[in-house]
Structure 1
Amino acid sequence: MSDPAVSVVLSVSDDLSLLTWAIESLRRQTLGDWELLPVGAGAVGATREFLDCAATADQRIRLVEHPFLRGRAAAYSAARGYLIAYLDSGGEFYHDHLARAWEGRGRGDVLVFRYDLIADVAGSPDAGTATRYDPLTRHDKLFSESVVAAIGVVHRRELLARIEPFTDGPDYRSAVEADDDLWRKLARVGARFVYIPAASGKWRVRSDTQLSLRPAASPCAVPPALVAVTVHNAVEKRQMLIPRDETGTVARIFGEGKYDGVPVDKLRVPPVIVDVGANVGVFALYAKLRFHRDAIVHCFEPHLPTIELLRRNVRELPGVTVHPFGLGRGDVTAELRLDPRSSAGHSIKAEHVRHPEGIARVTLRDAGAVWDDLGLGEVDVLKLDACGCEGDILEALGPHLTQVRFVLVALNCVTDRPRIEALLPRHQLVIETTRTAEPGLLKFVRLDLRGEMAARVTVHSTHIAGVGPADRTPVMSGFAATSRARGSSYFPRVMFASYHCYHDSASGAALCTRDLFALLTARGWACRVFTGPNLDDPVAPPVGDKLRAYPTTQMARGRFGNADFTLYHSQAGGFPVTMFAPDPPAATRSPTQEEARAFAAVLSDAIREFRPDVVLTYGGDDASRAVVEAGRAVGAAVVFWLHNRAYTDATIFRDCDTVVVPSEASRGHYRDLLGLESVVLPGPWM
């Protein structure tokens, strides 16, 4: 093995989040010819496990078996690079730093770079601000002050032979003091210091950082790399940390029901779930909350920084195992092309990431051999999202696929679909979702279970316009996303469902419902709407015509049986609203039997995924009557909201838990007319 261009000495702390960012910044370097030598007293326990995993996944990472100060000597002895650079768990290199240092290696013996100081002091008003520091401004104080942090220094390795050998002493009080002593020793032996007018990276300055390099300057805001999202079903809440650029993934899985459609009652208890391309664990959490809390989940993820975040997110989920490698057709080391837009887009396929921001070496193992090693046997759900490698993994699994009940496969390119279908001859494609701007999804059921799914639904989803900032926290369908801390009070989940249109501005009932949901949402309730297209105004145009013009609307076309329909997904007042509309559009007529069955089928999926505590409804048509059965099927309390005195059939209310009327007069009217007992709920709704 040839010697690398740069040896990077990494001082390790026990803060895994900072350590992850530091190593990830190194793996994103445009110059990939480096080796990493971690040293530090913090390399024990979980930190050591992390580093062992890192070294296994990337041969450029070599562990040094020493504490930090004494470990410097071991690192220098082990180093093979022409240059030596420095990094610690509070720092991150900018992506071109090592390439810039290599290009400038002939300019001097010691290259000194600028860097950005990030205030990271809890409770400080300056927390999260950045200041560019230039060591040149204090170069004449090298022998009296702490002039430059290690992240700003790159020097030739051969210089170390010209200074006194490193031993177990001196007993430096801090790593900063050790660094300062090294710079001075280099200067004393005549090393030429050259100050480079470029930034090496960023360094977080904490309250325990013993360095007084905090020059006053105009700060600029630095957004956090991770955001916290809390999701819950009817019985439990879970919080996870995700990269800011992955909030859209969370919204699609929990909000838009990306993986909806698997009949939970047809899974074993506990179900076995295989999650290939687990990323940071969003689907694993979905499986625990949606399928069964005791689900056994095997997560496969090859990207080192993502693995650490995945482990952090699932460590409190019993039955979840993280496998720190990817699956493929054989045991190989591959180059993962890092997608600059999203960590979920990293791929070993060049055609999927044409302009990567870096290359990471990852470990892939033969999928069939891993299946045998784990003794998986029957698997309830196989979720496969490997950024273009889905066909290769299915091919490697071969006959093992006959043991899988339901298969969820990402469709990264429409031309992959014939191969995927051919590799699953014992399964039937029942749901297909294709999108214009992101991967679609194919949902298969094993042939012996196909009778459990009434019909194939094909959904072609077209993104009409942008859905707003990626970091906006959504209120999620199927679960609720909140910013409340753990231990806060539980707020009920309520869904309004009716074939009568929630968007109808001419309907007093719709306006009352909108007012009620606005108040409930403001008080922390998780709300969701599934509505039909029916309007009170006989000459009104279809609502879909108006929704298409909204900047946050998404549209999906589907088919159930012989009925074609369109779903319009939008946000209204902080919660999701889905409108079902038959094709061709019909604003005022009652639904046909086929349309009513299609409405009921899609509604049932929405209710099963959202798991409401209360389902609120009104309307006497065949489609609206299906709401009661769908709500009771998930154990929700069904409330019929009577807004007028036009109902004459008592059977409409027979299976409802409660009937609500707006006044005592209405209550008396229906008691006398239908023998119906009801509850008075006057406005305003509190």
Structure 2
Amino acid sequence: MNRPRISIILPIRNAAATLPACLRSLARQTFSDYEVLAIDDGSSDESPAIVAAAAARDARIVLIEAGRIGLAAALNLGLELARAPLVARMDADDVMHPARLELQYHALQSQPELVLIASRVVAFPARVVKAGLREYLRWQNRIITPEQVNAEIYVEAPFTHPSVMFRRVPVQELGGYTTKPYPEDYELWLRMHEAGMRMQKLPQNLLAWREHPERATHRDPRYAREAFDELRADFLARDPRLHSGRPLVYWGAGRMTRQRVRRMIERGFAPFAWIDIDPAKIGQTIWGAPVHAPAWLNRQPRPFVLVYVTNHGARDLIDGWLQSMGYQPGCDYLGVG
């Protein structure tokens, strides 16, 4: 049997209500040389029956009844069973654009230096998409190039997981998905970034990402703020850009920000200075370092700045201020979510 060119890893758990639309979007792909590894993670609804019926009509679909093993283990099982050199992720509650596989396949074929290609996404149904998710996708969808990924990797996950396609072997050589209590996709993107792998995004919206209250990001403790903060700090502390000998400046001296910065200070990254726009904070000393107004950064040699302000509108303003003073994102400063 010839190997397919793409393996689609589709973990499933109690997705009977949305699975038919997902499977229809796979059947409508303009690129047809794929297999679907539908890994049932212990569903108690009709999901396995829906997949089995689809598999009876389409030999490219394989139902794998794994039992309740958890999402990360299901993804790693998919990597182990995948026969194709390229892996596309998909979730049972989302819908692919008909050209998604074709466009991503050709992007990876034409750029052998890329390990991962994602796409822009749109959230639906519009009536339940709240302002926070809209703002997150506005930020995420503007990250396209590998350089933008490198500059923004510590803000949030720069890719929506079911929008990605990647080369299977490099990801397996990194160890696949973590089973530790972290967001398994973001941890993998950080590990790939740390390994120097190039990741990019197509400018088209190729995935409709379904928003609903049962989505794992709303309910699973692996996606809690604490898990993200610990994960970011672990990888940020190893980033070569923080080991260049440049003085380290933290932008954001508020109480909540200081609690997040504490993780870096505990890892040995004491502040040379703080930056804030609050007149009540400017002139204070926090953890042995002075608080300055932003204009203080207009100096040579430039320090390295970690921007811990999380408000997206404020972060845009800070980007503008820093770049007006000659600071380059990813080279002279990094945003931290």
Q: TM-score range by the shorter chain?
A: 0.5 to 0.7
- In 2, Cα distance between equivalents of 1:45 and 1:208: 15
Q: CA deviation at 1:166?
A: 5.0
Please list, as runs of the form range in 1=range in 2, the aligned pairs for 1:576-587 lying within 5 A after superposition.
none
> Which residue of the partner structure matches residue 154 of structure 1?
165
Q: Does 1:134 align with 2:134?
A: no
Is contact 1:110–1:154 with CA below 8 Å preserved after alignment?
A: yes
> Which residue of the partner structure matches residue 466 of structure 1?
none
Asked which structure has the greater RCO (Cα within 8 Å, sep 6+), the reply is: 2
- In 1, Cα distance between equivalents of 2:87 and 2:142: 19
C-alpha offsets along residues 480-506 of structure 1, whole Å, 9 cap, x if unaligned? xxxxxxxxxxxxxxxxxxxxxxxxxxx
Q: Does 1:199 align with 2:205?
A: yes
Is contact 1:88–1:151 with CA below 8 Å preserved after alignment?
A: yes
Is contact 1:9–1:36 with CA below 8 Å preserved after alignment?
A: yes
Query: Does the residue aligned with 2:52 lie in a helix, a strand or coil?
Result: helix
| Fraction of identical pairs, as percent | 21
2:91 to 80, 88, 93: 88
Amino acid at match of 2:152: K
C-alpha offsets along residues 626-650 of structure 1, whole Å, 9 cap, x if unaligned? xxxxxxxxxxxxxxxxxxxxxxxxx
Please list, as runs of the form range in 1=range in 2, the aligned pairs for 1:605-684 lying within 5 A after superposition.
none
- In 2, Cα distance between equivalents of 1:11 and 1:45: 14
Is contact 1:82–1:157 with CA below 8 Å preserved after alignment?
A: yes
Query: Does the residue aligned with 1:136 lie in a helix, a strand or coil?
Result: coil
Amino acid at match of 2:143: L
C-alpha offsets along residues 219-268 of structure 1, whole Å, 9 cap, x if unaligned? xxxxxxxxxxxxxxxxxxxxxxxxxxxxxxxxxxxxxxxxxxxxxxxxxx
> Which residue of the partner structure matches residue 113 of structure 1?
119
Is contact 2:6–2:86 with CA below 8 Å preserved after alignment?
A: yes
Q: CA deviation at 1:40?
A: 4.2
Query: Does the residue aligned with 2:83 lie in a helix, a strand or coil?
Result: coil
> Which residue of the partner structure matches residue 232 of structure 2?
none
Is contact 1:4–1:35 with CA below 8 Å preserved after alignment?
A: yes
- In 2, Cα distance between equivalents of 1:98 and 1:76: 18
Query: Does the residue aligned with 1:180 lie in a helix, a strand or coil?
Result: helix
> Between Structure 1 and Structure 2, whose CA radius of gyration is higher?
1
Q: Does 1:170 align with 2:180?
A: yes
> Which residue of the partner structure matches residue 30 of structure 2?
30
**TM-score when normalising by structure 1:** 0.28
Amino acid at match of 1:152: S
> Which residue of the partner structure matches residue 620 of structure 1?
none
> Which residue of the partner structure matches residue 57 of structure 1?
57
Q: CA deviation at 1:155?
A: 0.7
- In 1, Cα distance between equivalents of 2:25 and 2:38: 14
Amino acid at match of 1:32: S
In 2 relative to 1, CA 160–13 (structure 1 residues): closer, same or farther, beyond 3 Å? same
> Which residue of the partner structure matches residue 421 of structure 1?
none
C-alpha offsets along residues 167-198 of structure 1, whole Å, 9 cap, x if unaligned? 7x3244xxxx1111121222222211122212
Q: CA deviation at 1:120?
A: 6.1
Please list, as runs of the form range in 1=range in 2, the aligned pairs for 1:3-402 lying within 5 A after superposition.
3-41=3-41, 43-66=43-66, 67=69, 68-105=71-108, 106-107=110-111, 108-119=114-125, 134=141, 136=143, 139=149, 140-164=151-175, 169-172=179-182, 177-209=183-215, 210=217
- In 1, Cα distance between equivalents of 2:6 and 2:130: 38
Amino acid at match of 1:115: V
Q: CA deviation at 1:162?
A: 2.3
Amino acid at match of 1:207: P
Amino acid at match of 2:73: R
Amino acid at match of 1:136: I
- In 1, Cα distance between equivalents of 2:191 and 2:89: 17
In 2 relative to 1, CA 40–184 (structure 1 residues): closer, same or farther, beyond 3 Å? farther
- In 2, Cα distance between equivalents of 1:6 and 1:85: 7
Query: Does the residue aligned with 1:16 lie in a helix, a strand or coil?
Result: coil
Amino acid at match of 1:4: P
Amino acid at match of 1:21: A
- In 1, Cα distance between equivalents of 2:115 and 2:8: 16
Q: CA deviation at 1:165?
A: 5.2
> Which residue of the partner structure matches residue 282 of structure 2?
none
Amino acid at match of 2:141: D
C-alpha offsets along residues 266-288 of structure 1, whole Å, 9 cap, x if unaligned? xxxxxxxxxxxxxxxxxxxxxxx
Amino acid at match of 2:174: I
Aligned length: 204
- In 2, Cα distance between equivalents of 1:171 and 1:39: 21
Q: CA deviation at 1:42?
A: 5.2
Q: CA deviation at 1:83?
A: 1.1
Amino acid at match of 1:64: I
Is contact 1:121–1:206 with CA below 8 Å preserved after alignment?
A: no
Is contact 2:10–2:91 with CA below 8 Å preserved after alignment?
A: yes
Unpaired stretches in structure 2, ≥5 consecutive residues: 224-337
- In 2, Cα distance between equivalents of 1:166 and 1:182: 6
C-alpha offsets along residues 187-214 of structure 1, whole Å, 9 cap, x if unaligned? 22221112221222211122344279xx
Q: CA deviation at 1:12?
A: 1.6
Unpaired stretches in structure 1, ≥5 consecutive residues: 213-686
Please list, as runs of the form range in 1=range in 2, the aligned pairs for 1:440-479 lying within 5 A after superposition.
none
Query: Does the residue aligned with 1:8 lie in a helix, a strand or coil?
Result: strand
- In 1, Cα distance between equivalents of 2:56 and 2:41: 21
- In 1, Cα distance between equivalents of 2:75 and 2:130: 36
Is contact 2:42–2:65 with CA below 8 Å preserved after alignment?
A: no
Is contact 1:65–1:71 with CA below 8 Å preserved after alignment?
A: no
In 2 relative to 1, CA 188–30 (structure 1 residues): closer, same or farther, beyond 3 Å? same
- In 2, Cα distance between equivalents of 1:5 and 1:23: 19
Is contact 1:36–1:62 with CA below 8 Å preserved after alignment?
A: yes
- In 2, Cα distance between equivalents of 1:101 and 1:125: 29
Is contact 1:135–1:147 with CA below 8 Å preserved after alignment?
A: no
Q: CA deviation at 1:41?
A: 2.6
Please list, as runs of the form range in 1=range in 2, the aligned pairs for 1:414-453 lying within 5 A after superposition.
none
CA-atom RMSD in angstroms: 2.8
Is contact 1:16–1:47 with CA below 8 Å preserved after alignment?
A: yes
- In 2, Cα distance between equivalents of 1:135 and 1:37: 31
Is contact 1:135–1:148 with CA below 8 Å preserved after alignment?
A: no
Q: CA deviation at 1:76?
A: 0.3
C-alpha offsets along residues 327-356 of structure 1, whole Å, 9 cap, x if unaligned? xxxxxxxxxxxxxxxxxxxxxxxxxxxxxx
- In 2, Cα distance between equivalents of 1:162 and 1:6: 18
In 2 relative to 1, CA 76–49 (structure 1 residues): closer, same or farther, beyond 3 Å? same
- In 2, Cα distance between equivalents of 1:50 and 1:75: 19
Q: CA deviation at 1:24?
A: 0.7
